[in-house]
Every structure is written in C-alpha cells, then in structure tokens.
Structure 1
Amino acid sequence: MKTIFSRSAAVLALGLSLGLASCEKQLNIDPYQSVDAATALNNESNVGSAVVGMYARLDDPNLYGTNLILVPELMAVNNYIRFQGSFQNFIQLANRTTNSQNTTAEGIWRAAYQAINQANLIIDALPVVSTASLKSQYEGEARFVRADMHFELVRLYAKQYQAGGGNTQLGVPLNLVPVKTVEQASTLQPRATVEQVYTQVIEDLTKAIALLPKSNGTRASSYTAKALLARVYLQQSNFVQAGALADDVIKNSGKALSPTLQSVFTNRNSSETLLEIQQNDQNNAGTSNSGLATHFASIGQLGRGDIQVLPAFAAQYGPTDARGEAGLLYVGTGTRAGVLRSGKYTTYGQNIPVIRLAEMYLIRAEAAFRAGNLTDALADINRIRNRSGATPLTLAQLSLATILRERQLELAFEGFRIHDLKRTGTDIFIPATGSNPATTFPITSDRLVLPIPFRETNVNTTLVQNPGY
C-alpha cells in the first residue's frame, strides 16, 4: 500500500494520507517528509482508490466511528443519558467543563479536515479520470464528503445558524484547495462566517446531487446528498426546502422503512439506510477502545457501559413501543450492570447508520406541521410509531412538541440531540439532585460550542478562539 502524508505542525493538523491500494492500514511517515500528491493521483485507478479511502476516513473514531455521534449526545446529557465512564475528555463534555486542550475536540477537528483535504485532492485530480461517468461520480462523492464535514464542524464549533439573521458569527475555516506540501499547509486560514460555511455546504451538496448517480451501492448517491441537504435546511429552519427534499427522497429513492428499528442496526445496509459506515469484525473503531458499541454496550464482556439511559427518558416510549424497554432498551449485564442501555450499538463490527429514511419522514412531518398541513404530518409520525408498535397519535394529540419528541424517541443516541435543541432554542433541563433544585442550562451558552483546539490557535494566529475558552 502507498500512503502520502504531508502535514504542517503549524496549520489545522491537515494530515494528507491517501490509501491508494488499501484502506486497512496507514504507514507512519515522518511528518516533515512530503510526497507530491498530484504524482500519486495520476491515473483513473488511483483516483478511484483515493475515493474508497475517503469513505474509510469516515469510520475514524473521531468522526462517525464514534465522536460525531457520541459527542452531540453527551453535550445534552441531562434527563436523557448519563456518562458513567472514566474518560476525562468525555466527562468534560458531559459536565460542560471542556477546555481548549480537550482531546476529543481536537480529534474531531483534525480528522474532519483530513477528510476534507482528501476530498479536495480528489477534485483536483479529476482531469486524469477519462471515464465520464466515473469522473462525475467521483466529483459528486468528494463534494458530498466535503460538505458533510464542513457541516458537522460548523454545528459543533460555532453558534447556531439563525433564520433571517446575518449569521456573521464566526464559523470554521473553509478548506476548498488541496494541500499537497508543507509549504501549502503553512498558509494561515481564518474562520469563515457561519453564513459562508452554510453557503458552501449547500453549493457542494447541490452540485453533488447533479453529479451523483441515483444508485451507488453502499456509497453516496444523489438521494444521499438530497437527504443530507434536507438535514442542512432543517438546521437552518428552512422548512419548505427541507420538507421538499425529504419528500423527494421518500418517494423516489427506492428506500423503505425496515420492518423493525432494531434491524436497521443489526443488519447491514438495510432497505432504510441512505448512508452507512461500513465496518466488520476486523476493521472497526471498537478495536482501539473506542467505537459506539464500546461506549454504549454492557453485554457480558462486551462494552464499557459508559452511557446509561435515564428512566425518565425511557418512560416516554410507552409499554408497547419496541424502541423502549419493550425491545431496544435493555438492562446491562456487563460492566456497570443493572441500568438501562441502548441496543442500537451491540457489536464492534456492525455498520453505523448515518442517514436513514425515518429521519426523512420526521423532517417531512415537521415541515408539513409548520405549514399547517396537520393530516400529512400526523400520517408521517404514525408511520414511524406504527413500525415500532407504539400507540398511534390522534390529530388532537399532534403538536410541534409531540413531533419534536418523536424525533428524540426515534433518533436517540444517533448524534442529533444537541443539534435539535439548538435549532429549536430548547434549553437543557437539569433535574433536581439531592438538595439541588431543578434548573435549566441555556442552549445559547458558550459552553455548548466546542473550543477551537489549542494546538490550532497556538500556531495559526488568524484563528479566533470561541468565547469562554
């Protein structure tokens, strides 16, 4: 396997490793060496291998292998989940005592920009791809990943996008040019505004939709890009656009809800998923004492039992709802046994659903309700509830609150929690403990935005740190 690694210790921790023949391992090359990436990506086959390597990056424990799913849940733990583990980086996030040297905040930043740079290298190398259909597909896939990573970064490291506002608050650096040498990596990159980042994300996804095929195996298709764009528009409170894209995906993607929610997580590449992180028993984030099953599971010798599901949240499911204690939630039998756990992550090598059709139904339902179409909104909510045996809602029971609660019940532990609370302006409820009365933690708090990593602000004087760090 060939690997290219070119990184300046001075800027953004942009690792440039490209697995061109295999994605299973990477060589550790002296960071002061550099190999011309353009020379390596000099034919169609190598570019294709680089695209495969780009997807493999998404399984990194700092990305969807763990942190992009776990961290948004930990940042809104109260009355929902409790972190019982010993990792100080996660304890800080759960307690909202994070500092600029938090290793998780640094790891997400670094891994996301590495994935972005790999996408940029692929786009830069497209002239060597002679097959027109592959050239279009590879560009679409690279733009999809670049958009996805910028979107994840701006949601975590910047204040929430405000519909109708100027959104001039600082976002994250936009990386749109491939870095191939240490000299290029030394270019200081400032933070773009939140508006600029969202504009670029939408531009990349719009182009990806036009470039990607309608079906692309386990990789991103045009409908995957549409689904992600629906998620982006929802975060902006652009409900009309979000609802329209979700409707398109539901009607035309060929996807269908799986028979049970559990089967989405226990089966590979189910009928419901639009994007899954591909893992197996040999290659998964759990082999390095990370991974979602490592933190969520407590099954015999499997899992650390770090994430407890609190009874107050579990009680919202109802006695017949298979998403709750009637099925998917279970009492742990391994480490830290005796309390409720989520059954979504129970084996190290399972695939990780990142985008699935149920989310599109929930987006369409919320958009329909906000537009005054209560009948359609109710039908979509009950599709989700019926799948899990939950008691259907009536029109009299339908409200924005019940729709948002259904999102929490269906998408719990999947990386949505803090993002939904931010976009809806919902403060975090902290229940009473001992002599401490119940309180609320403001969702607009600076402590709910991750710090720009210290190593980045230390070497890049154009990076302005977030307030409070």
Structure 2
Amino acid sequence: MKTIFFRSAVLLALGLSLGLTACDKQLDIDPYQSVDAATALDTQDKVGSAVIGLYARLDSPNLYGTDLILVPELLAVDNYISFQGSFQNYRQIATRNTNSQTTTAESIWRTAYQAINQTNLVIDALPVVKDEDLKAQYEGEARFIRADMHFELVRLYAKQYEAGGANAQLGVPLNLVPIRTVEESSTLQPRATVAQVYAQVIADLKSAITLLPASNGTRASSYTAKALLARVYLQQSNFVEARTLADDVIKNSGKALSPTLQSVFTNRNSSETLLEIQQNDQNNAGTSNSGLATLFASIGQLGRGDVRVLGSFAGQYEESDARGTDSLAFGSSRKLIYLGNGARAGALRTGKYSAYGQNIPIIRLAEMYLIRAEAAFRAGDVTTALADVNRVRTRSGATPLTEAQLSLASILRERQLELAFEGFRIHDLKRTNTNILIPGANGSPATTYPITSDRLVLPIPLREINVNTTLVQNPGY
C-alpha cells in the first residue's frame, strides 16, 4: 500500500516560497510545480528552487503556519488559555480527548514527512550544483529543515527525552533517504528510539552549522542552526552545550533585541529574529479556518477569537509590563494582551498574531538570553543569569529582578511570560517535569494533571498504522 511518503515523492512541489522577499536576488528563481521527482532536480537552478520550496512548506497551516505553534499551547491550556472555537480537532487536544483519527495529528505528521522527503531529494541532487558555495548552503538548509522537522515530530509524538537515561522509548521514523517511486515507498520504516532521533537531529544541525553562511538573508544561517541546536540541547537538559551555543549566538550573530516585543511581531525580519516564516496578504497560512491570526485574533472583522487568554495568566504580568494587559481593545491598548472586540468579543487575546499576512517569528534572540540565563543559573553563575533575565524584562518595562528574587522558578516563569503563545508551553513543562495546574472550580479544589500522562503525546495517525505494520501506536490510543 502507498504511504504518505509516496504522495509527496512522485509529484514534488517546488513552489516559490510563500511571501519570501521578492527583491532578494537569491530568491528570484522560477517556481516548478508538480514536477516528476526523477527529473525535477537535474540542474543547479532547480535545486535552488527546491530549497526555496522547503521554506514555503514550513508555512503550511499543518506546520508553523498554525499547528506547530498552536498545538503545544493547547496541550497545556489549564490556567493559561482556553479554546473557545468550534473546531473539534483543537477542542479534543485542549481537553486531552484525542484519538488516533484526529485530523490534526495526521496532518502534522503527513506534512512534516513531506518536508523531510523534500530535504532528502535536495541532498541527493547536490552533485548537479557546481557552485561550491551554493552547494554547501543548499545542503546546510536542507539538513537544518530536516533536523527541525524530526525534532518537532519527536517532541509531539514521543515521550520526553530523559537526561541520563537510555531513551529507548519509541520516537518517530527517521526518514533519511529520498523516495521517488512506488517501490521505494513500499519500504516500511519503523519508529526509531527517542535517543536515535535526537542523535540524528544533532548530527544534522552540526553539519548545517559548518555548511551554512553566517548571514543568509531571511533564510537559515549558521547562527540559526546554532540557535535551534541550543533549543534541542535545552530540551535534553544538556545545559552546558545549550549555554555555549546560546552565548555564541548572542555575542556573534549580529542580532539585537528589538525595542519592543510587539515590534518583533508587527515588523518583518526584525533585528531580533534568527528565523521567521515569510508571509504576506496574498500568501499566508489562512484567513478563515487556519492561520495564527485567524485563531488567536479578535479585532473587528479579523479573526475567529478561538483562543482566549485567561485572566489568571494575564494577571502574572505586573502593571508596568507591556507584555501584559490593560483590558483595552486592540489599537487602544498599550499592552500586548488586549480585549477582543470582534468574534467572541469581551475576552482577552494575544496581540502577537494580529494580521493574516504578518511574518511568524520561529527563533528569536530573547529565547537565547533565556536559555543562557537558565543554564547559567543551574551552573551557579547567578550574575549572568540575572543580567540575562533582566535584559528581557526591562525591554518590556517589567521591574528588574534582584539577586534575592532570582531562582530557577523565576527564570522558568520568565520564559512563560516572554514566550507565551509561541509554541513552547508543553515542551517546557515536559522538560522540567512540571505537572499542569488545574484550578479549582465550582467548589472543587485545585488539582494537577501529570506531565508524564500518555494523553500529552499525540497519537500515531491510524492511517499510518494501517499502511505501515511496523509502526507501534502510543499507549492510550
């Protein structure tokens, strides 16, 4: 039977990246749509076009266009956000009531592996690229995206990496060979272990660091790869390596914190971002049933107002903190959390996603400061940790912490306040082994939901189980 890999391999979509800067000469390559995979990448220009297509695929609503940011937030909604929308797939995730046929779990899996297969096709075609600098760049970009997709998959479909453990728990299939034909697609790929997936992710990113240029326009650079590897090491609790890479990015990437957090999201390719998904009003992840602004915003006629910010979370920001709320409508508010006046009006919403065609920041410098702060504190370097946390806080007008106020808990809390609604929520709770607080209601006391629960791991899609007999389903599904 044909697997998802065959669907994306025989007809290779090499479309021009959605919203990538048209004036950038490195992107001025004619697109190729539905090209036979056996002959699609037989020239240097075609390989270059395929690499651009990789970035376009990341904007899919099944990937960073919506789900890779929204789903990690919905998995830990309690005392944070609530889902008010009518889409049952997201409601099931928010209530931890998913099953193996949930469309979201299937679409993330399918689209991520399509992207991975496209990276493999690019890597396989590299011999036709005669320009050695371009050849190295294209390989670095492909390996970076392949690593990123495997990393996102293993965090969502497998149990958390355990520092110091064997990590023999099932991860996700590692797809490292291009698939072009029915015969190639019939090879059944079992789930690798979590240890094996992380090892491959790290190997790909280390290769990408050596291959990518230090500056690469709006595309991934060597510092983008270093930043992602710092995130990977943090997820593993490898704090020494995470700190080293975050420190390198902070000192040497040329990036700087934007004047305000809001400007990171309202401006394009700010001084702070190491990677962002390029969108515009014509090409974006969606304006009606998908897209981050569609689901998060409630601004007049813009947005569905599906994701509500709970007052208990918004109340954690002090009054001077621009990341918090003054309970005014968007446009009148001077804060990042506003009172919705469109769909489902009257509830708090995040202003991070306020336009359908805005770019989507994926990796930014503030995260590197917070990684370095946490790693430094764990190593006993309070001076560095305090300075880094306060750089992030003072940018938004929050009162700087004193040394007496600094703790691991306060640093982790700062990550929640700064990186809220950006796809970090469940991953941070898992790596720190923090249970989910369920507030008391209707006379019932507050309780906790165990972070190790099987329900906080997405199911392997039933469709994949049916076509690949080597796949083992996750417990509870």
TM-score, normalising length from structure 2? 0.94
Alpha-carbon distance in structure 2 between the residues aligned to 1:407 and 1:67: 20
Name the SS of the counterpart of 2:8 in structure 1. Answer: coil
Q: What is the CA-CA distance between 1:24 and the residue it aligns to?
A: 5.9
Give yes or no for the alignment of 1:379 onto 2:387: yes
CA contact (8 A) 2:171 2:191 kept: yes
Equivalent residues in 2 for 1:144-155, closer than 5 Å: 144-155=144-155
Query: How far apart are the structure 1 equivalents of 2:37 and 2:160?
Result: 36
1:168-207 maps to which residues of 2 (within 5 A)? 168-207=168-207
CA contact (8 A) 2:158 2:172 kept: yes
Evaluate the alpha carbon distance shift between residue 14 and residue 162 of structure 1 in structure 2; reply closer, same or farther with a 3 A threshold.
farther
Amino acid at match of 1:113: Y
Aligned residue in 2 for 1:100: 100
Alpha-carbon deviation of 1:23?
4.6
Correspondence 1:18 to 2:12: yes
Structure 2 equivalent of residue 457 of structure 1: 465
- Partner of 2:320 in structure 1? 320
Q: Deviations over 1:142-192 (max 9, x none)?
A: 000000000000000000000000000000000000001122111110000
Give the whole-Å Cα distance in 1 for the aligned partners of 2:466 and 2:156: 20
Cα distance in 2 between the residues matched to 1:13 and 1:139:
23
Tell me, in whole angstroms, the C-alpha distance in 2 between the residues paired with 1:183 and 1:398.
58
> How many angstroms apart in 1 are the aligned matches of 2:342 and 2:157?
35
Equivalent residue of 1:353, what SS? strand
- What secondary structure does 1:346 align onto? coil
Q: Helix, strand or coil for the counterpart of 1:287?
A: coil
Report the Cα offset of residue 20 of structure 1: 3.9
Whole-angstrom CA distance in 2 between matches of 1:198 and 1:99: 26
Q: Do the aligned residues in 2 keep the contact of 1:38 with 1:125 (CA within 8 Å)?
A: no
Mapped to 2, the partners of 1:122 and 1:459 lie a distance apart of: 26
Q: CA deviation at 1:40?
A: 1.3
Q: Contact 2:120/2:176 (CA < 8 Å) preserved in 1?
A: yes
CA contact (8 A) 1:427 1:441 kept: yes
Q: Could you list the runs of 5+ residues in structure 1 that have no partner in the other structure?
A: 1-7, 30-34
DSSP-derived class of the 1:363 partner:
helix
Equivalence for 1:403: 411
Aligned with residue 341 of structure 1, among 336, 349, 357: 349
Instruction: State the shift of 1:39 in Å.
Output: 1.2
The one-letter amino acid paired with 1:39 is: T
**Residue of structure 2 in register with 1:3 after alignment:** none
Amino acid at match of 1:176: L
SS in 1 for 2:315: helix
Contact 2:13-2:32 at 8 Å conserved across structures: no
What CA deviation, in whole Å up to 9, does each residue of 1:106-145 have, x standing for no partner? 0000000000000000000000000000000000000000
User: Helix, strand or coil: the match of 1:330?
Assistant: strand
Which residue type is aligned with residue 343 of structure 2?
T
Q: 1:230 is paired with a residue of what secondary structure?
A: helix
Kindly, what percent of the aligned residue pairs are identical? 77
Q: Is 1:265 aligned with 2:259? A: no
| C-alpha distance in structure 1 between counterparts of 2:269 and 2:186, whole Å | 41
Q: Which amino acid is 1:390 matched to? A: A
User: Could you tell me whether the CA contact under 8 Å between 2:4 and 2:114 is conserved in 1?
Assistant: no
- 1:373-452 matched pairs, under 5 angstroms: 373-452=381-460
- Displacement of 1:436: 3.0
Structure 1 residues 320 and 67, CA, compared in 2 at 3 Å: closer, same or farther? Answer: same
Q: Secondary structure at the match of 2:286?
A: helix
Query: How far apart are 1:11 and its partner, in Å?
Result: 4.8
Helix, strand or coil at the partner of 1:82 = strand
Q: 1:376–1:21: structure 2 CA closer, same or farther, 3 Å change rule? A: closer
Deviates more, 1:281-290 or 1:307-316: 281-290
Distance 2:18 2:163 in 1: 42
The aligned residue for residue 249 of structure 2 is 249
Residue 119 of structure 1 contacts residue 146 of structure 1 at CA under 8 Å; is this kept in 2? yes
Question: After superposition, what is the alpha-carbon deviation per residue over 1:196-242, rounded to whole angstroms, capped at 9, x for unaligned?
Answer: 00000000000000000000000000000000000000000000000
Matched AA of 1:402: S
Q: In the aligned structure 2, how far is the partner of 1:435 from the partner of 1:458?
A: 45
**TM superposition score normalised by structure 1:** 0.95
1:424-445 CA-to-partner distances (Å, cap 9, x unmatched) read 0000000012133211100000
Amino acid at match of 1:258: S
SS of structure 2 residue aligned to 1:395: coil
Residue equivalent to 2:301: 301
SS in 2 for 1:274: strand
User: 1:15 deviation in Å?
Assistant: 1.6
Q: SS where residue 363 of structure 2 aligns? A: strand
Tell me the distance in 2 between the aligned counterparts of 1:295 and 1:20: 28
**1:14–1:113: 8 Å Cα contact kept in structure 2?**
no
Q: 1 CA distance for matches of 2:3 and 2:114?
A: 14
1:226 aligns with 2:219: no
Name the SS for the 2:448 alignment partner: strand
Aligned partner of 1:9 in structure 2 is 2
Q: CA offsets per residue over residues 333-389 of structure 1, 9 Å max, x none? A: 001111110000000000000000000000000000000000110000000000000
The 5 A counterparts of 1:343-382 are 343-382=351-390
Q: CA deviation at 1:14?
A: 5.0
Aligned to 2:137: 137
Residue of structure 2 in register with 1:157 after alignment: 157
Say if 1:13 and 1:110, in contact at 8 Å, map to a contact too.
Answer: no
Q: Which amino acid aligns with 1:371?
A: A
Equivalents in 1 of 2:65, 2:14: separation in Å? 21
Q: CA deviation at 1:27?
A: 10
Equivalent pair of 2:18/2:279 in contact (CA under 8 Å): no
Determine helix, strand or coil for the equivalent of 1:136.
helix
Runs (4+) of structure 1 exceeding 4 A deviation are 11-14, 23-29
Match of 1:89 in 2: 89
In the alignment, structure 1 residue 119 sits paired with structure 2 residue 119:
yes
**Residues of 2 paired with 1:13 and 1:128: CA distance?**
24
Match of 1:46 in 2: 46
Q: Which amino acid aligns with 2:450?
A: P
What is the distance in 1 between the residues matched to 2:235 and 2:17? 33
In the alignment, the residues of structure 1 paired with residue 98 and residue 130 of structure 2 have an alpha-carbon distance, to the nearest angstrom, of 49
RMSD over aligned Cα atoms: 1.5
CA deviation profile, 1:15-59 (whole Å, cap 9, x unmatched): 234344645699997xxxxx7524110000000000000110000
Match of 2:23 in 1: none
Q: Distance in 1 between matches of 2:288 and 2:50?
A: 24
Query: Does the 8 Å CA contact 1:11/1:460 hold for their aligned counterparts?
Result: no
